[in-house]
Structure 1
Amino acid sequence: MSASELAKEEERLGWEVETVRLQLQDLMVEMRGLQDRARDGDVGAPKEALATVRSVREFLGKAGDVEAKLHDFKRRQGGGEGQYVLDLDGARASIRCRLDRLRRCQHSG
């Protein structure tokens, strides 16, 4: 792969990483709001929580794809981490904790 092709791929991957980061932020905000609503007794919150769970599962699949692309790209460039470091394991753990709290709120109401 030529240097210009690598530069284009790096730019595209950078855009994908930023998109994943922004989507993760949005999902975290949405989940916090659902947790607050569930704690306040909003009966619609559990249904919306299930839709959010589906969105999170879909997001994690896409994030995993981007993570694999980054790994492949880094491997081809000699393994350097560069500026594209996402803590997807940490994000997954954080999302799992929030989903667990949503489920507890759903079952307690």
Structure 2
Amino acid sequence: MRDSILPKVVLDYINASNAHDVGAYLSTFTDNSVIIEQSIGRDLIGRNEIKHYFTTYFVEYDTHTEIIDFTIDNSVIDMRVLFKGHFPGEEIIGLYQFHLKDDHIEQLRADLE
């Protein structure tokens, strides 16, 4: 499977997200991670803001993420995903750019296509 070439932390992120496992989701990030979330127009800094974001947009909307495609360039992974959930339209294409450091997500850029 092509997903097997993804770094473990990215697969852990997707799996934790789909399981709505807040603890596992947060464990994929460094202590001072930032999510640059262009679709909501703000940056989420640190685990408390990231936790609130995850529970609001993934847990409460019962969002599930399917990987469409991705590229890897050293420690940066660009990814297109399909979000399905209980939100207007029920599915939408998302864009992720993971920046990794020490086997964790240091920065995540997120947007909608």
Higher helix share: 1
- Highest Rg: 1 or 2? 1
Higher strand share: 2
* TM-score normalised by length of structure 1: 0.26
* Higher RCO (Cα < 8 Å, 6 or more apart): 1
* TM-score normalised by length of structure 2: 0.25
